Amino acid sequence: MTIPDRSFSKGNKSMMIKTKKVCRFTEAKVKYIDYKDLKMLQKFTSEQGKIIPKRVTGTSAKYQRELAAAIKRARHMALLPFVSDTVR
């Protein structure tokens, strides 16, 4: 008979200490997310070119909408790629 490993069970919270995610834009009091700021926009896109969700980045809903619009605008203006060129 085997004993189940309980280190990752729901009851053991010592292994799952999470820090609260804070919106970068709210902290910096950003008024407008500019589509021309490519370095900042690339931080919120994955290697495949997908927009990273707000549950991962911690941005608020308001700024996630603005961020998505800025990334889509930069893609349309050919400043950001739609898809990455990496091949498996």
User: Can you give the pTM of this predicted structure?
Assistant: 0.75
Query: For residue 81, is it left (φ>0), alpha (ψ between -120 and 50) or beta?
Result: beta
pLDDT value for 85: 73
CA gap 2, 85 in Å, rounded: 47
DSSP E strand boundaries for the chain? none
Domains and CATH numbers, the chain: 37-88 (4.10.640.10)
Structure confidence by residue, pLDDT tens digits, 37-65: 999 999 999 999 999 999 999 999 999 99
